[in-house]
Amino acid sequence: MKLDFAAQLGTVRFLGTFPSDDPIGVPTVVVDYVAELLGIADPSCIKAYTKRPKTAYEHAREIQRTLATAASPGGGGAGRLGGPRGRGTAARPKALFVHWG
Protein backbone atom coordinates (compact mmCIF):
# COMPACT_ATOMS: atom_id res chain seq x y z
CA MET A 1 0.00 0.00 0.00
CA LYS A 2 2.94 2.34 0.55
CA LEU A 3 3.91 2.19 -3.11
CA ASP A 4 0.36 2.85 -4.28
CA PHE A 5 0.02 5.91 -2.08
CA ALA A 6 3.48 7.17 -3.04
CA ALA A 7 2.68 6.84 -6.76
CA GLN A 8 -0.41 9.01 -6.35
CA LEU A 9 1.40 11.52 -4.17
CA GLY A 10 4.29 11.75 -6.65
CA THR A 11 1.89 12.34 -9.51
CA VAL A 12 0.21 15.17 -7.63
CA ARG A 13 3.54 16.65 -6.62
CA PHE A 14 5.15 16.60 -10.06
CA LEU A 15 2.14 17.06 -12.34
CA GLY A 16 -0.22 18.96 -10.05
CA THR A 17 -3.04 16.47 -10.61
CA PHE A 18 -4.08 12.95 -9.75
CA PRO A 19 -3.70 10.13 -12.29
CA SER A 20 -6.77 10.15 -14.53
CA ASP A 21 -8.84 6.99 -14.88
CA ASP A 22 -5.96 4.69 -13.95
CA PRO A 23 -4.63 5.11 -10.41
CA ILE A 24 -1.47 3.25 -11.37
CA GLY A 25 -1.08 4.96 -14.73
CA VAL A 26 2.43 6.02 -13.81
CA PRO A 27 5.43 5.07 -15.99
CA THR A 28 6.98 1.77 -14.87
CA VAL A 29 10.40 3.33 -14.38
CA VAL A 30 8.88 5.85 -11.98
CA VAL A 31 7.18 3.05 -10.02
CA ASP A 32 10.49 1.14 -9.95
CA TYR A 33 12.35 4.21 -8.69
CA VAL A 34 9.80 4.95 -5.95
CA ALA A 35 9.78 1.27 -4.92
CA GLU A 36 13.56 1.39 -4.58
CA LEU A 37 13.33 4.53 -2.42
CA LEU A 38 10.76 2.81 -0.20
CA GLY A 39 12.74 -0.44 0.00
CA ILE A 40 10.06 -2.45 -1.80
CA ALA A 41 11.64 -5.45 -3.52
CA ASP A 42 8.80 -6.18 -5.96
CA PRO A 43 7.35 -3.04 -7.56
CA SER A 44 4.82 -5.13 -9.48
CA CYS A 45 2.83 -5.25 -6.23
CA ILE A 46 1.33 -1.94 -7.38
CA LYS A 47 -0.95 -3.94 -9.70
CA ALA A 48 -2.91 -5.05 -6.64
CA TYR A 49 -3.98 -1.41 -6.22
CA THR A 50 -6.75 -1.90 -8.76
CA LYS A 51 -8.29 -4.86 -6.93
CA ARG A 52 -10.18 -2.49 -4.66
CA PRO A 53 -10.90 0.69 -6.65
CA LYS A 54 -12.16 2.49 -3.56
CA THR A 55 -8.63 2.47 -2.09
CA ALA A 56 -7.30 4.86 -4.75
CA TYR A 57 -10.12 7.30 -4.01
CA GLU A 58 -9.50 7.05 -0.27
CA HIS A 59 -5.81 7.77 -0.83
CA ALA A 60 -6.68 10.72 -3.08
CA ARG A 61 -8.94 12.19 -0.39
CA GLU A 62 -6.22 11.75 2.23
CA ILE A 63 -3.66 13.47 -0.01
CA GLN A 64 -6.10 16.31 -0.74
CA ARG A 65 -6.82 16.81 2.99
CA THR A 66 -3.12 16.82 3.81
CA LEU A 67 -2.25 19.25 1.02
CA ALA A 68 -5.16 21.52 1.89
CA THR A 69 -3.90 21.70 5.47
CA ALA A 70 -0.33 22.39 4.34
CA ALA A 71 -1.50 25.05 1.86
CA SER A 72 -3.70 26.86 4.37
CA PRO A 73 -2.37 29.91 6.18
CA GLY A 74 -0.20 28.73 9.04
CA GLY A 75 -0.15 25.20 7.65
CA GLY A 76 3.50 25.33 6.62
CA GLY A 77 2.88 24.99 2.87
CA ALA A 78 3.31 27.49 0.11
CA GLY A 79 -0.39 27.74 -0.69
CA ARG A 80 -0.28 25.66 -3.85
CA LEU A 81 -0.65 21.99 -4.71
CA GLY A 82 3.00 21.47 -5.53
CA GLY A 83 4.16 22.36 -2.04
CA PRO A 84 7.11 24.49 -1.02
CA ARG A 85 9.27 23.71 -4.09
CA GLY A 86 9.85 26.88 -6.11
CA ARG A 87 9.86 27.21 -9.88
CA GLY A 88 13.55 28.05 -9.98
CA THR A 89 14.68 24.72 -8.56
CA ALA A 90 16.03 21.74 -10.46
CA ALA A 91 12.92 19.71 -9.57
CA ARG A 92 10.68 21.15 -12.27
CA PRO A 93 7.09 19.93 -12.38
CA LYS A 94 6.75 17.13 -14.92
CA ALA A 95 10.54 16.63 -15.04
CA LEU A 96 10.36 13.18 -13.48
CA PHE A 97 7.62 12.06 -15.85
CA VAL A 98 8.99 13.71 -18.99
CA HIS A 99 12.42 12.20 -18.43
CA TRP A 100 11.11 8.69 -17.86
CA GLY A 101 7.79 8.76 -19.68
pLDDT digit string, tens, across residues 8-37: 888 888 888 877 667 677 888 888 999 999
Instruction: Answer for the pair 44, 2: CB distance below 8 angstroms, yes or no.
Output: no
12 lies in which domain range? 2-100
The whole model's pTM is what?
0.63
Residues in contact with 42: Cβ distance below 8 Å, sequence separation at least 6, in sequence order: 35
Spans of the chain below 50 pLDDT: 76-94, 99-101
The number of distinct structural domains making up the chain is: 1
